[in-house]
Structure 1
């Protein structure tokens, strides 16, 4: 099976920890994990399936490595690619910008031809606004929202449920029956 590209950025280590948990749940042999500060836009060409992770900072800012890479990110052609997103944020301290990073990346992916899977329900969260909420489907985020600051006790269960959801949603996008069976 072709590997899935996991690209993420982490400033404080929380997104790094969630990424390690994701790899453990998914299976490391199926993933090619890279930190976003060590990639080029051409690295995205190697994968048909991508999982992107980041945190949102302050007033809706991207994590610093994603911020530095953002101009290049906007130039990537996502046509034919399937992408799942996960993001960390603080729904209490920054409730009007909760996981905005997910939405910022999602809008570029969609504008550049990509397909996003792994939408996650907003039910159970306490935020006031987020660009990560799908405009046409205002009861879901574009990807998994994790508030490790205020709800760390929910992070593991949310991640496990989301990984299973993404694996299920990937099946119709895989080309061969062998790949379908391996997921």
Structure 2
């Protein structure tokens, strides 16, 4: 409970969240203005919310927040509390885009933002380096997109392909419900890696 309370207190001064909510809303307006498909907005939500999760964690680690939290509590509750509050922030980012879209697909943006933020958090936990973690995040995103365009049968099984399956009905993708299950599996895999790193690595 102490770890969760500490994470919630950080939200009050979370300038990264505020900046990415504004950025996501502005970018969504631009995409809608260009008459891009809602899919483009949702993919953008997934990417920007994952960037939020990564930056939030690596900043907290660089500033000693993670170390202090672990010293005053157990590692697993600290990770779970961080994941819960990061998911909340990602949902807020998704809600900002949903307010712009204002269509039935709006509802997808909120859980997609939450999932993206948690995915980004786990990448940040595993990589931890302030400069390298966002690079790895973008590399996984772009690499998955390239594989999806070149080898759809393989690419649809990767994180980006799973996300695309959730938001788009284009041929060559998995059904939306199967894509959601696969995305959850990727989150479990990444979460397991983050838990192992948190449990074994020095603070």
Larger Rg: 2
Superposed pair shares fold, TM > 0.5: no
Judging by fraction of residues, say which structure has more helix: 2
What is the TM-score when the length of structure 2 is the normalising length? 0.30
Q: Which has the higher contact order (CA 8 A, sep 6+)?
A: 2
What is the TM-score when the length of structure 1 is the normalising length? 0.32
Judging by fraction of residues, say which structure has more strand: 1
